């Protein structure tokens, strides 16, 4: 059987067997993936952003009544034993418990914490799922980690612990990445993209650590926004034209900067399809990025890609001041919205374009 067919079957099984929940107009959800929590030692990838993550989870999402989806690779079980992780990060588990007690926690497994679905009740207090479906009217959002779109992971998951390395990310957020080169990463995204567009659903994944919104990387998205603005420009009144000029310059500079800094071969290409691009693939990114955390939010019937970072870290790394977004209280942390669209708009495009 060809690989693509096996993967389609795998994903169909995930989709069919996933627990389902209807999304209401007042529901708020936040989706994090790829925490890779370890033992708190210097090789623990979670450690650098642990304080930021804890702050955001407690002060924003727990307080504001969000439901929490942990979309895989929460624990780094390929390098650490669960009891050690649980002991070191007790404060984080206390927060997970608070969501769980109110029925607001959904925990999905990835390839690095897959064991938990086998022996969950013995080691972890939470139920674990392979996938989760949110329904929005007649539409469906399929949440799963993403490694299921790779035969490599399906067949050789036990061998992977060895190949950890760094990759520069198209969003300009340098994330710690796992066990694959950009070509493999792209292949996984492409397979999920093809599956989601064929089934006319939105797929929300993690795993590649590369934040995506509407199947677009940051570079694609900047190009797209510049084009849209340039089309509007000739017909605008003077004041509006000025605002557009400023935006184009900002976007252009971001684009140039990203092009200059990104690694060859990581072009962030959106060519999952030769035809029109369907906005069916979203990726929450990860919690262990060198320049912060990204996540997906659903609230007020909109989907949002959000970036959290510590401005002290940003200044130390880039020499630039505070950066975009808004400060969170009196903390050194900032929240920046990368992209946002109403679910109705996303789904009308998925339905009409496929
Ligand atoms: Mn993974």
Model confidence pLDDT, tens digit, residues 14-33 = 999 999 999 999 999 999 99
The whole-number average pLDDT for the span 99-119 is 93
Model confidence pLDDT, tens digit, residues 123-147 = 889 999 999 999 999 999 999 999 9
Structure tokens of 94?
A: 């206390």
Distance between Cα 109 and ligand 1 center (Å):
9
With 0-12 CB in 10 A as exposed, 13-18 as middle and 19+ as buried, what is 79? middle
Three-state secondary structure of the chain:
CCHHHHHHHHHHHHHHHCCEEECCCCCCEEEECCCCECCCCCCCCCHHHHHHHHHHHHHHHHCCCCEEEEECCCECCCCCCHHHHHHHCHHHHHHHHHHHHCCCEEEECCCCCCHHHHHHHHHCCCCCECEEEEEECCEEEEEECCHHHCHHHHHHHHHHHHCEEEECCCCCCCEEEECCCHHHHHHHHHHHHHHHHHHCCEEEECCCCCCEECCECHHHHHHHHHHHHHHHHHHCCHHHHHHHHHHHHHHHHHHHHHHHHCCCCCCCCCCCCCCCCCCCEEECCCCCECCEEEEEEEECCEEEEEEEEEHHHHHHHHCCCCCCCEECCCCCEEEEEEEEEEHHHHHHHHHHHC
Contact 13, 7 (CB under 8 A): no
The better pLDDT of the pair 346, 268 is held by 346
Q: Which position has the token pair 């060895």? A: 162
Domain limits, the chain: 3-217+269-353, 218-267
pLDDT score recorded for residue 61:
98
Q: Which residues of 168-186 are buried (b: 16+ CB within 10 A; e: fewer)?
A: bbbbbbbbbbbbbebeebb
Please, which residues bridge with residue 204 across strands? Answer: 143, 282
pLDDT score recorded for residue 171:
37
Contact 299, 25 (CB under 8 A): no
CA-based Rg of the chain, rounded to a whole angstrom?
Answer: 20
Q: How far apart are CA 227 and CA 292, in angstroms?
A: 29
The whole-number average pLDDT for the span 295-319 is 90
Q: How far apart are CA 137 and CA 132, in angstroms?
A: 16
Q: What global pTM score does this model have?
A: 0.83
Distance between Cα 152 and ligand 1 center (Å):
12
- Across 93-107, 180-194, 275-289, the highest mean pLDDT is recorded for 93-107
Model confidence pLDDT, tens digit, residues 147-171 = 999 876 655 544 433 333 233 223 3
Structure tokens of 304?
A: 């949002």
Structure tokens of 41?
A: 């030692």
Distance between Cα 110 and ligand 1 center (Å):
5
Distance between Cα 146 and ligand 1 center (Å):
7
Structure tokens of 261?
A: 């800094």
Q: What is the third-level CATH fold of 3-217+269-353?
A: Purple Acid Phosphatase; chain A, domain 2 (3.60.21)
Mean pLDDT is lowest, of 36-45, 144-153, 189-198, 297-306, for 144-153
Distance between Cα 255 and ligand 1 center (Å):
28
pLDDT score recorded for residue 258:
76
Banded model confidence at residue 334, pLDDT cuts 50, 70, 90: very high
Distance between Cα 209 and ligand 1 center (Å):
8
Distance between Cα 207 and ligand 1 center (Å):
4
pLDDT score recorded for residue 227:
81
Contact 282, 31 (CB under 8 A): no
Distance between Cα 72 and ligand 1 center (Å):
7
Contact 91, 54 (CB under 8 A): yes
Distance between Cα 26 and ligand 1 center (Å):
31
Mean pLDDT is lowest, of 179-193, 265-279, 334-348, for 265-279
Banded model confidence at residue 267, pLDDT cuts 50, 70, 90: very low
Q: How far apart are CA 221 and CA 214, in angstroms?
A: 9
């Amino acid at each position: 059987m060809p690989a693509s067919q096996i993967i389609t079957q795998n994903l169909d099984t995930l989709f069919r067997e996933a627990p389902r929940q209807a999304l209401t107009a007042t529901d708020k959800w936040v989706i994090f993936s790829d925490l890779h929590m370890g033992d708190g030692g210097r090789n623990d990838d979670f450690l650098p952003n642990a304080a930021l993550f804890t702050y955001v989870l407690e002060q924003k999402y727990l307080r504001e009544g969000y439901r929490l989806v942990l979309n895989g690779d929460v624990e780094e079980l390929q390098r650490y034993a669960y009891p050690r992780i649980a002991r070191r990060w007790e404060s984080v588990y206390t927060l997970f418990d608070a969501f769980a007690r109110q029925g607001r926690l959904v925990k999905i497994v990835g390839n690095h914490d897959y064991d938990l679905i086998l022996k969950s009740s013995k080691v972890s207090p939470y139920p674990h799922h392979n996938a989760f479906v949110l329904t929005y009217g007649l539409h469906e959002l399929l949440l799963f980690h993403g490694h299921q779109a790779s035969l490599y992971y399906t067949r050789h998951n036990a061998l992977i612990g060895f190949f950890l390395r760094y990759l520069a990310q198209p969003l300009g957020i340098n994330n710690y990445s796992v066990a694959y080169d950009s070509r493999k990463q792209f292949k996984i995204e492409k397979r999920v993209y093809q599956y989601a567009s064929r089934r006319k659903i939105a797929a929300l994944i993690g795993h590649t650590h590369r934040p995506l919104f509407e199947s677009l990387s940051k570079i694609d998205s900047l190009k797209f926004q510049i084009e849209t603005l340039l089309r509007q420009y000739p017909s605008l009144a003077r004041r509006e034209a000025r605002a557009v000029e400023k935006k184009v310059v900002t976007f252009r500079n971001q684009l140039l900067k990203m092009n200059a800094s990104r690694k060859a071969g990581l072009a962030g290409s959106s060519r999952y399809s030769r035809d029109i691009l369907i906005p069916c693939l979203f990726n929450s990114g990860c919690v262990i990025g060198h320049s912060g955390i990204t996540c997906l939010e659903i609230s007020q019937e909109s989907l949002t890609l959000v970036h959290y970072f510590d401005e002290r870290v940003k200044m130390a790394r880039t020499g630039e001041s505070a950066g975009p977004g808004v400060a969170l209280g009196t903390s050194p942390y900032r929240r920046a919205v990368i992209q946002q669209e109403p679910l109705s708009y996303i789904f009308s495009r998925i339905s009409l374009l496929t």
